[in-house]
């Protein structure tokens, strides 16, 4: 099988399991983001893919070959890890050409490749600059070019943009994705920033407690979260208790809601409803009764907080569709079954 395949990969440090039975297939040419809270095992998994740590159990295949125990320098990888800083005493060009030079690549081929890569990272003519004189964003681009110099089979980046300010980080996310698409290189990025993952990835792998909770396209992770951890971790959501009566009809916060079904045999669950899918109306039949407690105007979006049956529900709307409500007002909450997801409780 081509691509990268992880099969039942586990890593233990003493009695502690940092990565637990992870299996994942990454097809050639795709962009995967490993996403999760601090300590969930992202970096440990990445280090095993890079060959910097050996799994306690399981195997890793790249391009059909078992590389579980192959040393890092024989894996054909490009790496941008925070710990792998640029060489400060070398120029930009010398940094980028570094791995070509140690492989004995002829000087003229090195120069051609450096120029190609500098054009690709939008820093043409920078070859002779000192890396000390680069901005944070430029330095990060040079680190990316250095990792790509040998045209690796697999490109691994661990929190590559976390040191950059918010604006530059967003711009670099788009650049990195476009670069990856142009080169068609299989890429894995570790991040704890969900917006970053959603911007760049074909597949977002959400991890928690050393395990994969869901691996899917960004829109599916957002629209069809596999469990309440994923629903809550990715974006903002309302998690509302849902219960079924003996006839199987579902009620949310005490109100029967048409079109919502619990899995066969289940009598209760959680409904994940994104704030932009909550509709506020006049109180009335079929609407969950609530009271507005707070309104937050963020300029680009209006958030309305509603208390309903002891639970806080947040509705988000654009300024154009600002709900005509005020704090203390009784309102009805309407949910659209098509955009709500029933999860196990």
Q: How far is the CB of 161 from ligand ATP (least distance, A)?
A: 14
- Which residues make beta-bridge pairs with 60? 6
Q: In this complex, which beta carbon is closest to ligand ATP, that of residue 13 or of residue 294?
A: 13
Q: How far is the CB of 18 from ligand ATP (least distance, A)?
A: 3
Size of the site for ligand ATP (CB under 6 A): 12
- Let me know: does 341 contact 272? Beta carbons within 8 Å: yes
The CA distances from residue 137 to 17, 88, 161, in Å, are 35, 16, 8
Nearest to 198 by CA among 219, 182, 178, 167: 219
Q: How far is the CB of 188 from ligand ATP (least distance, A)?
A: 13
Which residues within the stretch 236-275 sit at the binding site for ligand ATP (CB under 6 A)? none
Binding region for ligand ATP (CB under 6 A) out of 11-19, 57-65, 198-206, 321-329: 11-19
| Contact status: 36 vs ligand ATP (CB under 6 A) | yes
| Contact status: 43 vs ligand ATP (CB under 6 A) | yes
Terminal-residue alpha carbon distance, the chain: 38
Q: In this complex, which beta carbon is closest to ligand ATP, that of residue 40 or of residue 335?
A: 40
Q: How far is the CB of 44 from ligand ATP (least distance, A)?
A: 3
Binding region for ligand ATP (CB under 6 A) out of 24-32, 34-42, 70-78, 258-266: 34-42
- Let me know: does 86 contact 120? Beta carbons within 8 Å: no
Which segments of the chain are extended strands (E)?
Answer: 4-13, 16-26, 31-35, 57-62, 65-66, 77-81, 154-158, 186-191, 203-208, 211-216, 238-244, 250-252, 255-256, 268-273, 279-281, 288-297, 302-308, 311-317, 330-334, 340-343
* CB-nearest residue to ligand ATP: 43
Q: In this complex, which beta carbon is closest to ligand ATP, that of residue 39 or of residue 286?
A: 39
Q: In this complex, which beta carbon is closest to ligand ATP, that of residue 41 or of residue 218?
A: 41
Among 9, 24, 26, 42, binds ligand ATP (CB under 6 A): 42
- Let me know: does 177 contact 200? Beta carbons within 8 Å: yes
Q: In this complex, which beta carbon is closest to ligand ATP, that of residue 210 or of residue 218?
A: 210
Q: How far is the CB of 226 from ligand ATP (least distance, A)?
A: 19
**Please, is 108 exposed, middle or buried when counting C-beta atoms within 10 Å of its C-beta (0-12, 13-18, 19+)?**
exposed
The tokens for 312 are 């806080």
Q: How many CA atoms lie within 13 A of 186 on its CB side?
A: 16
Q: In this complex, which beta carbon is closest to ligand ATP, that of residue 35 or of residue 96?
A: 35
Q: Sketch the per residue contact string, 191 through 230, with ligand ATP: x for CB under 6 A, - otherwise.
A: -x--------------------------------------
DSSP string of 162-198, one letter each residue: TTS-HHHHHHHHHHHHHHHHHHT-EEEEEES-HHHHH
**Please, is 321 exposed, middle or buried when counting C-beta atoms within 10 Å of its C-beta (0-12, 13-18, 19+)?**
exposed
Among 4, 6, 33, 41, binds ligand ATP (CB under 6 A): 41
d(CA 28, CA 183): 12
Binding region for ligand ATP (CB under 6 A) out of 39-47, 90-98, 299-307, 331-339: 39-47
Q: In this complex, which beta carbon is closest to ligand ATP, that of residue 190 or of residue 335?
A: 190
Q: In this complex, which beta carbon is closest to ligand ATP, that of residue 16 or of residue 299?
A: 16
Q: How far is the CB of 27 from ligand ATP (least distance, A)?
A: 24
Q: Sketch the per residue contact string, 14 through 33, with ligand ATP: x for CB under 6 A, - otherwise.
A: --x-x---------------
Residues 6+ apart with CB under 8 A from 274: 222, 235, 236, 237, 238, 339
Task: Give contact residues for ligand ATP (rule: CB under 6 A).
Answer: 13, 16, 18, 36, 38-44, 192
């Amino acid at each position: 099988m081509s691509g990268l395949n992880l099969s039942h990969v586990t890593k233990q440090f003493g009695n502690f399991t940092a990565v637990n039975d992870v299996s994942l297939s990454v097809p050639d040419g795709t962009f995967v983001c490993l996403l999760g809270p601090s300590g969930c095992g992202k970096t440990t998994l990445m280090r095993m893919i890079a060959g910097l740590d050996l799994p306690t159990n399981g195997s890793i295949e790249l391009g059909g070959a078992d590389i579980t125990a192959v040393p890092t320098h024989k894996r054909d990888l490009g790496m941008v890890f925070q710990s792998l800083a640029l060489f400060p005493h070398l120029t930009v060009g010398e940094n980028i050409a570094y791995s070509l030079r140690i492989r004995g690549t002829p000087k003229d081929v090195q120069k051609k490749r450096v120029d190609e890569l500098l054009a690709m990272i939008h820093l043409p003519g920078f070859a002779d600059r000192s890396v000390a004189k680069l901005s944070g964003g430029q330095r990060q681009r040079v680190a990316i070019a250095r990792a790509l110099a040998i045209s690796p089979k697999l490109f691994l980046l661990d929190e590559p943009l976390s040191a950059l300010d918010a604006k530059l980080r967003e711009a670099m996310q788009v650049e990195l994705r476009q670069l990856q698409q142009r080169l068609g290189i299989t890429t894995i990025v570790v991040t704890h920033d969900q917006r970053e993952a959603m911007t760049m990835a074909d597949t977002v792998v959400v991890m928690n407690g050393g395990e994969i909770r869901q691996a899917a396209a960004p829109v599916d992770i957002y629209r069809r979260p596999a469990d309440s951890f994923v629903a809550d971790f990715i974006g903002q959501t309302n998690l509302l208790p849902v219960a079924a009566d003996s006839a199987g009809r579902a009620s949310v916060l005490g109100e029967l809601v048409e079109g919502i079904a619990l899995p066969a045999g289940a009598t209760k669950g959680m409904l994940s409803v994104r704030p932009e899918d909550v509709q506020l109306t006049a109180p009335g039949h079929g609407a969950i009764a609530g009271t507005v407690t707070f309104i937050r105007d963020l300029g680009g979006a209006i958030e309305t907080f509603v208390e309903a049956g002891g639970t806080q529900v947040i509705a988000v709307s654009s300024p154009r569709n600002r709900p005509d409500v005020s704090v203390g007002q009784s309102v009805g909450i309407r949910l659209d079954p098509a955009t709500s997801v029933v999860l196990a409780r």
